[in-house]
Structure 1
Amino acid sequence: MRDAYIVQSVRTPGCKQKRGQFNQTRPEELVSFIMKAAVEKTPNLKPEHLEDVMVGCAFPEAEQGLNLGRIAAKMAGFPDSVSGATVNRFCASGLEAIALAASRVQMGWSEITMGAGCESMTFVPMGGNLPRPHPEYSKTDPEMYISMGITAENVANRYDVSREDQDKFASDSQAKAARARDNGLFTEIVPTPAFKFVEQADGTWKKEEFIVKHDDGIRESTPEGLGKLRTVFAANGSVTAGNSSQTTDGAAATIIASKEKCDELGLTPIAKLVTYATVGCKSDEMGVGPRYAIPKALEQAGLTIDDIDIYEINEAFASQAIYCIRELGLEKYMDKINIHGGAIALGHPLGCTGAKLTATCLANLKEVNGKYGIVSMCIGGGMGAAAIFERV
């Protein structure tokens, strides 16, 4: 099987659902922009060199429905010859898209592909616009449909993750993200056009463009301040808005090519996908997913936790992130985990997250001059995913 080389990986900023700077920018506009930007930022690459695009989206309906992968490719200005598909593995959709795009190269089915992710949680809310659980099945297996926040409470209760530890973890995430923003360390971000509709004197509305340069959910916090917030999902619980991931709008894209095509076009590889693993777990504690997915990926790659230089573990909730870190024996490597903050500060745009974290992981590997990086997340419905990337 051939190696799949990454030649570009970038993301938009992440902006808060409804209250953020992308709240009037449609998801197709976000993902088509970052797909086009990824090509434009890659020397010697032209849109016609691409063969296929996989776009991850957790709730592919309404404005991000139909076949977003194909629509976004056309909106990005790619020629008719570039095919596209939309991929849904909930929170791992963006990572799944990269894995599928890479597998096409590895199998020799394509020479250059793109794996991307997109989610506008402003336009399409958590759960979609019309959730319809199966009436009989939901009586026997209701945990398949329960709130993700309840699963976070379950993890905290079953595995003794305290409110104090969750709030400290969340505050640390915010502080790391603020430092990275203020020091220009989010090098994977491409300043992104956003739109707003402004009423004119004659009563009509004009669509105006402005540029978003930074994630807009980062905020100052302290464990003491977060400790004053009320719980959200259980009256006597420990999960709050402050120690949970932010619901967010964003997009990201990664370009993958074979070695032969890199040599032919003069493309410069920055990394390669080493392996990708998914696992299932109990639905009512879906947050434990990385605890099982990361060891599986490491075993597939013949590596150990000591070999990894950068961990990007999605902070769906502080409770589940803390549990996974503890169970994996990663507490000694906190300086390698989410070094510029995680989803608590930067947001979790569902289907975009895996693609977003890939761009962040590769940028951070370069910053620390590391070799191996892991991207991992828990997944709604009871799953975990993990990918290992090698910087080249």
Structure 2
Amino acid sequence: MKEAYIIDGIRTAIGKFRGGLSPVRTDDLAALVIKALMERNPGVNPAIIDDVILGCHNQAGEDNRNVARMALLLAGLPHTVPGETVNRLCSSGMSAVIHANRAIKAGDGDLFISGGVEHMTRGPWVMSKVSKAYGNDSAMHDSSFGWRFVNPKMKAMYGTDSMGETAENLVDDLSEQAITREDQDLFAYNSHMKATKAQKSGRLAKEIVGVEIPQRKADLVVFEQDEFIRPGTTLDKLAKLRPVFRQNGTVTAGNASGLNDGAAALLIASADAITQYGLQPKARIVASQVVGVEPRIMGIGPVEAAQRVLKKAKLTFEDMDVIELNEAFAAQSLAVIRSWGLKDDDSRINPNGGAIAIGHPLGMTGARLLQTAMIELHEKGGRYALCTLCVGVGQGYAVVIERV
């Protein structure tokens, strides 16, 4: 069976809600990383790309009607190159990469662009039509985040807890782990401090391509630093924030990921393509695994996903040199880490900070984790990395990669 390799990856800096990327259309953001990826790899003729596969969570606004296809055309790729958009909510970007991996293994292509995009700032309001003439059952929702147009059957069967409530559910259900508010705030603080250090040292810059943003009455601005990171946060500041989802809860705006904007793209190739086009692979995709879990505790998904992917790869946690765990919430992250039997401050976990600090553009994040882990393996000289996310409505996704 053929093997799939990650040749290169690039991402935008991640914007905060209504922040620096606000003026940029979602499809333009996706096009930018595709174009930048091709410019970084001039030996690859765009016409030979077998498919462009992007993950996207929203798809209700400028990311509608197959944003992958729109973006590749906007990026200047030939119209003969096809495009597909996939949606597995928070893990959409990871799913896109594994779609390419599977296609290569199946012999359905040799060279792919995969990644993800999400622009939560520009997610539109959406309104349903009435079900009958002169009806009054129309509804309107903000498409940026959370449930919309809920099926009453789904609500009766599984509930429709918000993502923050699912994190609170984990604190309650895993009471033996004693995940306190203080634990969560400390985890969030450490994420910001690690990300701050990585930003100041230039480590994060190795992942990023700048986004040129025209200004009305000034020179254009190049957006090239993750802006959600809070270098000045403290444990005291975090402790003063009120719980968001329950009156006596523990999840706050400070120990959760945010609403963010960004895009990422990776070049995925078979061994044949590497030889034919003289490419230099950076990582091999070893194994992947997706699982389903109870929706009300969706955040626990990475536990089983990671255990199963490691078993599939015939590896253990001890073999992992880097672990990129998406920080949807500090409570959720701690529940996963402790369920794995690891320490809260394991130095392999998110060494440059995670989503609580860097941000979580939903459709992009899975691709970012793989790109970040790939670069980190080369920075540290490590061999294996585990990348994993929880997924809304109860799923977990995990991928193991090996440095080449």
- Give the structure-1-normalised TM-score: 0.94
Equivalent-residue separation in structure 2 for 1:135 and 1:384 (angstroms): 24
* TM-aligned CA deviation for residue 214 of structure 1: 0.7
Letter in 2 for 1:10: I
- Cα–Cα, structure 1 residues 187 and 370, in superposed 2: closer, same or farther, change >3 Å? farther
Q: Structure 1 197/185 Cα, relative in aligned 2: closer, same or farther at 3 Å? A: closer
Asked whether the 8 Å contact 2:9–2:207 carries over to 1, the reply is no
Q: Structure 2 CA distance, aligned partners of 1:150 and 1:313?
A: 20
CA offset digits 1:108-133 (Å, max 9, x no partner): 11010111100000011696279211
How many angstroms does 1:40 deviate by? 1.3
1:89-119: CA deviations, max 9, x gaps?
Answer: 0000000000001111111110101111000
Query: Any conservation in 2 of the 1:7–1:42 contact (CA below 8 Å)?
Result: no
In structure 2, which of residues 225, 233, 239 is the aligned counterpart of residue 214 of structure 1? 225
Encode CA deviations 1:111-158: one digit per residue, 9 max, x unaligned: 1011110000001169627921113432x1252x32100001111222
2:133 alignment partner in structure 1: none
Tell me which amino acid in the other structure corresponds to 1:284. R
Answer yes or no: is 1:267 the counterpart of 2:284: no
> Which residue in the other structure is 2:134 paired with?
none
Deviation at 1:223, TM superposition (A): 1.8
Q: 2:323 aligns with which of 307, 311, 326?
A: 311
Shift of 1:231: 0.7
Identity %: 38
- CA contact 2:158–2:296 (8 Å) conserved in 1: no
Instruction: Output the aligned Cα RMSD.
Output: 1.7
Q: Distance in 2 between matches of 1:285 and 1:90?
A: 15
Cα distance change on mapping 1:254 and 1:373 into 2, 3 Å: same
Q: Which amino acid counterpart does residue 101 of structure 2 have in structure 1?
A: A
Q: Alignment partner of 1:335: what SS?
A: coil
Kindly state the Cα deviation for residue 346 of structure 1 after the two structures are TM-superposed. Answer: 0.3
8 A Cα contact 2:168 2:331, kept in partner: yes
Counterpart of 1:146, as a letter, is D
Q: Which amino acid aligns with 1:2?
A: K
Kindly state the Cα deviation for residue 164 of structure 1 after the two structures are TM-superposed.
Answer: 0.3
Q: How does 1:278-297 map to 2 (within 5 A)?
A: 278-297=290-309
Counterpart in the other structure of 2:207 = 189
How do 1:240-389 residues align onto structure 2 when only pairs under 5 Å count? Answer: 240-331=252-343, 334-389=346-401
Q: CA deviation at 1:59?
A: 1.0
Q: Match of 1:73, SS?
A: helix
Deviation, 1:49, is: 2.2
Question: In the alignment, residue 12 of structure 1 is paired with which amino acid?
Answer: T
Mark the runs of 5 or more structure 2 residues left unpaired by the alignment.
Answer: 125-140
1:11 aligned onto 2:11? yes
Indicate if the aligned counterparts of 1:74 and 1:80 stay in contact, CA closer than 8 A: yes
* Aligned-partner residue type, residue 200 of structure 2: D
Q: Is the CA contact (8 Å cut-off) linking 1:11 and 1:188 kept in structure 2?
A: no
Q: Please tell me whether residue 135 in structure 1 is matched to residue 152 in structure 2.
A: yes
Alignment of 1:104-119 (within 5 A): 104-119=103-118
Give CA deviations for 1:295-354 in whole Å, capped at 9, x if unaligned. 011011010000011000000000010111111022187110000000000000001100
Asked if 1:171 is matched to 2:197, the reply is no
TM-score norm. by structure 2 comes to 0.91
